[in-house]
Amino acid sequence: MWEQIIEESIKNITKTYGINELAFLAMQGKIELQLRDKIAWYIEQNFKENYCVKREYNIQGNGRQKCDLAILDKDNMKPVCLIEFKAHSAATFEMDYINKCKNDIAKMQSIAKGITPDPEIYYIFFQTEHQGTLPEDNGLIAYYGIIKNALKNEFGVNDIHKQWDDYYSNIGTIKKITIVAGEYYGLKVDIHTMILKYAKK
């Protein structure tokens, strides 16, 4: 159920920003929290009759362990869906993100332990692709060196998708969406999004 709703919420994101606003945000820093909050608000608005959304969700007595986003059943306030988010600011490959994914899924499994029925578990990964000529470093573009390396090596959407297929498909099912973010300082910016639905072993 929730996979389609999450997909709809991501496709709705560009409608909530001005022209090139999302490109500006993506080029000046990590954007997972801004995008998470847009997804949270979409779900809260459209499914508030039966469900509610909690950012930074944790279970009382579970220490400081938190999940980025939880969708709760209003009848019992138990989570029916848990979601973690990560973002990478260029089309390069970094093995550390695979480890972060596995750690986040393990954390969500821990939070979900003992909850019946099992909440659906998702990991959403935003990876930014840039096209065009990188301007001189004026201090406004975050992760300048990583973006420069990605452009130099001509890394693009096909490389991103191959990374996902190679390293994440054994964890669960993958849905791929592109968010067209706009332009910033002459660079076209796309945010490629992986919705990974964890497949319980």
Q: What is the mean pLDDT, run by run of 10 residues, along the chain of 201 residues?
A: 95 96 95 96 94 90 82 94 96 92 94 87 97 93 93 92 95 97 96 95 69
85, 105 contact by CB (below 8 A): no
Per-residue pLDDT at 1: 84
- What are the beta bridge partners of residue 174? 196
Confidence (pLDDT) at 117: 85
Q: What is the pLDDT at residue 124?
A: 98
Q: What is the pLDDT of residue 114?
A: 79
User: What pLDDT was estimated at residue 200?
Assistant: 80
For residue 63, what pLDDT is reported? Answer: 65
Write the Ramachandran bin of 115: left for phi over 0, alpha for psi from -120 to 50, otherwise beta. Answer: beta
Which residue, among 25, 135, 159, 149, has the nearest Cα to 87 in the 3D structure?
Answer: 25
Can you give the pLDDT at residue 62?
64
**Contact by Cβ (8 Å): 32, 86:** yes
